[in-house]
Amino acid sequence: MSSSKTKRWHGNVEAIKPEFLNGVIGQMAAYGDRVHFSMFGSVQKPHYEVINSFDKKMAFDGNHHLHRAEDDEFGAGNVTPIFTLEQIKRIIATGGSGVRSSTPRSARAASARSAGGARPMTAAARAREAIDGEKYAYFKANREMLPEGINQYSDDISALMLKGMSAEQAFGEIIEKHFG
């Protein structure tokens, strides 16, 4: 006998609980108007990427926290089609009957077979994730004061932080270098 907690999710967005989708809407309101979901994760809490109008993507885990995605996590065959904010709201409003996944069953089955078990996180990956979380929190708290286009230097900011700078120092250096 299996419960919904042990079932692997195969891309049917209608199966995601409205409570979780409300959290997705919260991240979309802050970071972008489109989203797609990874086949990684569970039906209750799949990983997802919010996409903004510049096609920049921000990945989140099943708890709506910033997430450093694996290389293939949001690659072809491992992701749902892109949904707009309005489509997600419609899915919630209609109790899951608003949109159907267009991922073919064979592609979903193949991605489920190739996903395998969870890989252990290395110390370097944990450090990157911690830096990304700090960078994200600083950006979110200060986005009104930051120059437009700062997001283009995200990797540079991360590199500075990996060398020991705080988020505030790294953002400051990038602003001085490219916007000052």
Residue-wise pLDDT tens digits, 128-153: 777 887 888 888 889 899 999 998 89
Backbone angles phi, psi at 165, to 5 degrees: -75, 150
Of 81, 76, 50, whose CA–CA distance to 65 is shortest?
Answer: 50
pTM: 0.53
Average pLDDT on 156-166 reads: 87
More confident residue, 166 or 44: 166
Predicted local distance difference test score (pLDDT) of residue 117: 43
Average pLDDT on 33-58 reads: 88
> Measured in whole angstroms, how far is the alpha carbon of residue 138 from the centre of its chain?
18
Query: CB neighbours (10 Å) of residue 80?
Result: 23
Q: What digits encode the pLDDT tens for the residues 71-128?
A: 888 888 888 899 999 899 988 888 764 444 444 444 444 444 444 444 555 666 666 7
User: In Å, how far are 31, 51, 110, 164 from 58, measured between CA atoms?
Assistant: 8, 7, 25, 23
In the chain, the percentage of residues whose pLDDT exceeds 90 is: 33
